[in-house]
Each structure stands twice: as structure tokens, then as C-alpha cells.
Amino acid sequence: QVQLVESGGGLVQPGGSLRLSCAASGIIFRLYAMGWYRQAPGKLRELVATIGSGGTINYAGSVKGRFTISRDNAKNTVYLQMNSLKPEDTAVYYCNSNYYSQSYWGQGTQVTVSS
């Protein structure tokens, strides 16, 4: 049974930081590309950042320079360090694992940026 469990969301003031974690089980983690996506109310889910099995990284333009994705294959965990947060970063953040046609999603964690 595949599980992706996100944690680390919460309420933060503009300019603040949060670190999201996604712990995976039931997959051979090192083979999977991992990603973070987000969905704000009334909007489509969008890509935030991805990291391939070989370490190739891709960021959405809106977060480049502020967010950092990383993975620890020994802990089966992917992270998203979010700095200089803005109100427009408010969304539910989802973890995704992808290997060829096998794609799995976590349940999401809420990030709210507000003063």
C-alpha cells in the first residue's frame, strides 16, 4: 500500500518560512521522481517543484529563488523549504510520486500566508 504523508504546513506571516516534508512508504523511493504541487481555492492544481530520481530539479517561475526542493533517499522523504512566503503562496500543498505510469498523491497540507 502506497502512502505519501505530508507535514509541516501552517499559518505564517508574509516574509516567513516553512518547511514541508513528505514521507513515502510502499514504493521504491529512489526510483521515483518526486514533486510538490499546490491548489488555491478556485484554481487548478499547479506544479511547484519536482526532483527526479537522478536529482534533476525543476521549479515553477513563481517560486524560483524562494523555494528549495530536496530529497533524502535514506529516509524516503522529500522536502520543500519555502522562504520569503507571500500571500499568493496560500494553498493546499500536495506531494506526488511518479515512475512511468505509476503516480501517487498525498492528502495535502494547508499553507496559509497572512498577517
Residue 115 has pLDDT above 90, yes or no: yes
End-to-end CA distance of the chain: 40
Residue 11 has pLDDT above 90, yes or no: yes
Read off the C-alpha cell for 30: 529512489
For residue 89, what is the DSSP state?
G
Residue 87 phi, psi (nearest 5): -55, -30
Report residue 101's pLDDT band, with 50, 70 and 90 as the boundaries. confident
The chain-wide mean pLDDT, for the chain, equals: 97
Q: How many residues does the chain have?
A: 115
Is the CB of residue 98 less than 8 Å from the CB of residue 106?
no
Report residue 99's pLDDT band, with 50, 70 and 90 as the boundaries. very high
Q: State the amino acid at position 56 in one-letter form.
A: T
